[in-house]
Every structure is written in structure tokens, then in C-alpha cells.
């Protein structure tokens, strides 16, 4: 899907560039100016194809330079499109350039703020979830939830992870939950130094994690040297070695006084990998084996990297709270007239924040790291402090 969006955007821009060049630069301009403008257009438009070539030729664990190319391309492309709105839609010569240049400047500034500042602004959100099914002993139970770290995409991984650990520990949570996509492609992105840093995250009931699609090794190019199953096994070992616990298609019990709730982690199966960006992935997916033997009368927290499984989990009688990541709000969202808007809405029915149907709640975090490009607009890196409340 991401490749398709880039391809469509590039075709649109090539057409717009050709129109602008033909009407504004091919006449009454010196040959050197025409060559310079043409070279700039060609150079800007080939950036995503160079990035895709890098992804094809090299292992995705070295994707930071590729992401910088896509970041530059995104800034140049969207700024150029803003300029063309003025040039192509307004007839008055002076007004079209004034509006076009103004829009281009505004868009460029917003995008650059997203590159330089927003993607590094680790924020903490507080969310309360009320349920009549929550046992009394768990009223006020606090969960620190974060997801999608994508270590291989971080530009200052040690400093960023140190800040993350301090923010999470400052919440003094009862439980810490990680929602998947710890690495970007390979298990060894989780270095010994980062293991030591992330291993400092503490909570009274421990730290649990599920795997995401990027954790499974499916993006490793050389699967002969590093088979997918081996990558997954080694990553699990490193995560467990940090003192976290990977819950992979299993359920834990958490006790408080005489009350107990259940915590289920949904692993990333081969079927999920094949349909990870599909809205209907859950239609043919059978999750019953994961919850076999789990009492329905107990309050259940389910952790699924993909939010598309929410209704399937609820239909089985579980998932009083479902925690998910994966979407990142596509790292772009804005609040307009009281509503949040994002390109993620094109692909996902539920894409960010808290949702409720019946007795089941879904919370989707916007994630911590970045993938595709080093850019976040209106969707800063997020740690969520979820407080469970017993509804009277």
C-alpha cells in the first residue's frame, strides 16, 4: 500500500511538473535556466525510486538513509503541490504567485517542524476506561502502554530510549505493556546497550510485550542466513532477557487481593502477516484457540498489535480492553472543526485513540517510532497511561 501511494503521488507530481515547466519555464527563459529547472524536477521525482532500489538491494535494517530520502521527497513533493494550487487554479498573475508561494511556505514549515521537532516530542497521554465488569480491587489500576518503537529507524536510539524509560517509570504504573514492532527488521537492532536501557523499565506486575509484523523477520532480505523463524526466536530471547515477558498466544492472570483479571497476548501468525494492512483480516481468522480455557466471566485485557482484530476478540466474549498499535495514524493527523483527520482513515475504520462498542474498549496508540519517513505531523510519539475504573 505504501509503495502504491508513493507511485501514484509521483505520477501526479510528474504530470504537474511537466505542466508548470511547459507554461512557465520553456518560454522566455535562457537555456541554462530551463536545464536547471528540468534537472531539479527530475532529481526530486527520482528520490522515491532510489529509496525503493536501496530497499530492494540492501537489508531493511539499514533503512535510515532510505527513510531520509523519502523524508526529503515528502517535503519537496507536498510543498510543490501547495505551490501548484496557486499557480494552476488562480488566473491573476500576481495573485497566483502570491498564493502559491505562501501555501508552499506554510506547508514546508509544517513539514519541517514535523521532521525536526514533532517526531522527537515524546508525549504522555492519560486515558480512563470505565467498566462495570472490572473487579473492585482493580479500580484505579494503571497501565503504561506504548508500541511501535522501530529501533532500526531511530536516528538517536540510545538517547531516545533513555527518555522513553524515564517517562514510563515516572508513571509508576502497575503494569507496562508494549504493543509490538520493537525492531524494524532484524533482531540484532536490539543491541546489548539498548537491552540494558529498556530493561530498566519497571512495574509492580512486570512488563509484557507482543510481537508486531516488523518483529517477525518478514522484512529481512537474506532469509538464508537469517530465516524468519530464527529471527523471531532470537528477538524473543533478547526481549525476555531484558526482563520483559513476551506473551505469544497465551493468557496470564493478574491478582489483586481476592480478585483476578486476565491478560491475553495475541501473537503474529503467518495469516496476519499476509493481511496485515487489510481491513477484513479478521473475517476468516480463528482466534478461539488463543482463549481456550480463559474464563469469560473475568475481566480481560487483550493485546493485539493489529486493531483490526478488536471485533473478532469481542465477539468471542473477551477483550474488555484491547490495546493495539500498528497504524501510527500514518504519522499525520490534524484536528479540524473538532474532528481528527488522517490519511489512516482511508485504510482503517479504527486508527487512533479510544473506541467503545458494548462492553469492549479499544485503544490504539499512535506509536513511538517512525517508519517510511522521519516525519510526524500532529501525531507525536506517544506513551499512554491507562487508568481502569469500576463503573457503578
pLDDT confidence of residue 276: 64
Query: What is the three-class DSSP state of 290?
Result: coil
- Beta pairing class for 382-390 and 142-146: antiparallel
Residue 252: Cβ within 10 Å count: 15
Q: E strands along 32-149, which residues?
A: 123-131, 142-146
CA dist., res. 196 & res. 175, Å (int): 19
Residue 353: Cβ within 10 Å count: 16
Phi/psi of residue 86, nearest 5 degrees: -70, -45
- pTM for the model stands at 0.92
Structure letter (DSSP) for residue 189: G
In the chain, how long is the greatest CA-to-CA distance?
A: 85
pLDDT confidence of residue 59: 64
Tens of pLDDT, residue by residue, the chain (392 residues): 556 667 777 888 888 888 888 887 776 678 788 888 888 888 988 888 888 787 776 666 567 888 999 999 999 999 999 999 988 888 888 899 899 999 999 999 999 999 999 999 999 999 999 999 999 999 999 999 999 999 999 989 999 999 999 999 999 999 999 999 999 989 999 999 999 999 999 999 999 999 999 999 888 887 778 898 999 999 999 999 999 999 999 999 999 999 999 999 999 877 776 666 666 666 678 899 999 999 999 999 999 999 999 999 999 999 999 999 999 999 999 989 889 999 999 889 999 999 999 999 999 999 999 998 999 999 999 999 999 999 97
Under 8 Å CB-to-CB from 292, ≥6 apart: which residues? none
Per DSSP, helices labelled H in the chain are 2-24, 31-57, 64-89, 93-116, 157-170, 192-198, 228-241, 270-274, 310-315
CA dist., res. 62 & res. 284, Å (int): 35
Cβ contact 304:249 at 8 Å: no
pLDDT confidence of residue 62: 67
pLDDT confidence of residue 149: 98
Amino acid at each position: 500500500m505504501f509503495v502504491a501511494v508513493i507511485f501514484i503521488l509521483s505520477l501526479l507530481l510528474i504530470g504537474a511538473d511537466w505542466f508548470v515547466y511547459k507554461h512557465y519555464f520553456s518560454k522566455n527563459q535562457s537555456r541554462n535556466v530551463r536545464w536547471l529547472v528540468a534537472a531539479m524536477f527530475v532529481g526530486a521525482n527520482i528520490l522515491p525510486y532510489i529509496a525503493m532500489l536501496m530497499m530492494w538491494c540492501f537489508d531493511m535494517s539499514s533503512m535510515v538513509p532510505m527513510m531520509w530520502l523519502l523524508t526529503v521527497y515528502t517535503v519537496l513533493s507536498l510543498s510543490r503541490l501547495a505551490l501548484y494550487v496557486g499557480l494552476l487554479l488562480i488566473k491573476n498573475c500576481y495573485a497566483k504567485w502570491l498564493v502559491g508561494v505562501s501555501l508552499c511556505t506554510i506547508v514546508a514549515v509544517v513539514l519541517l517542524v514535523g521532521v525536526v521537532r514533532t517526531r522527537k516530542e515524546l508525549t504522555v497521554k492519560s486515558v480512563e476506561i470505565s467498566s462495570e465488569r472490572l473487579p473492585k480491587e482493580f479500580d484505579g489500576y494503571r497501565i503504561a502502554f506504548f508500541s511501535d518503537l522501530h529501533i532500526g529507524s531511530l536516528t538517536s536510539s540510545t538517547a531516545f530510549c533513555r527518555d522513553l524509560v524515564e517517562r514510563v517509570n515516572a508513571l509508576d504504573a502497575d503494569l507496562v505493556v508494549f504493543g509490538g514492532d520493537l525492531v524494524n527488521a532484524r533482531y540484532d537492532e536490539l543491541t546489548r546497550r539498548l537491552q540494558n536501557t529498556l530493561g530498566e523499565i519497571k512495574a509492580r506486575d512486570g512488563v509484557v510485550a507482543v510481537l508486531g509484523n516488523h518483529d517477525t523477520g518478514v522484512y529481512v532480505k537474506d532469509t538464508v542466513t537469517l530465516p524468519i523463524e530464527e529471527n523471531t526466536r532470537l528477538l524473543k530471547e533478547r526481549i525476555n532477557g531484558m526482563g520483559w515477558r513476551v506473551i505469544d498466544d497465551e493468557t496470564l492472570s493478574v491478582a489483586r487481593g481476592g480478585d483476578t483479571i486476565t491478560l491475553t497476548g495475541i501473537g503474529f501468525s503467518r495469516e496476519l502477516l499476509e493481511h496485515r494492512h487489510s481491513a477484513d483480516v479478521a473475517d476468516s481468522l480463528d482466534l478461539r484457540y488463543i482463549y481456550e480455557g480463559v474464563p469469560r466471566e473475568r475481566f480481560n485485557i487483550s493485546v493485539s498489535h493489529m486493531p483490526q482484530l478488536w471485533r473478532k476478540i469481542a465477539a468471542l466474549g473477551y477483550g474488555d480492553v484491547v490495546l493495539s498499535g500498528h497504524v501510527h495514524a500514518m504519522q499525520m493527523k490534524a484536528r479540524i472543526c473538532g474532528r481528527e483527520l488522517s490519511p489512516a482513515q482511508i485504510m482503517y475504520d479504527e486508527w487512533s485513540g479510544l473506541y467503545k462498542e458494548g462492553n469492549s474498549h479499544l485503544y490504539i496508540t499512535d506509536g513511538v517510532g517512525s517508519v517510511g519517513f522521519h516525519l510526524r505531523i500532529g501525531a507525536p510519539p506517544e506513551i499512554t497511561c491507562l487508568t481502569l475504573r469500576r463503573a457503578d
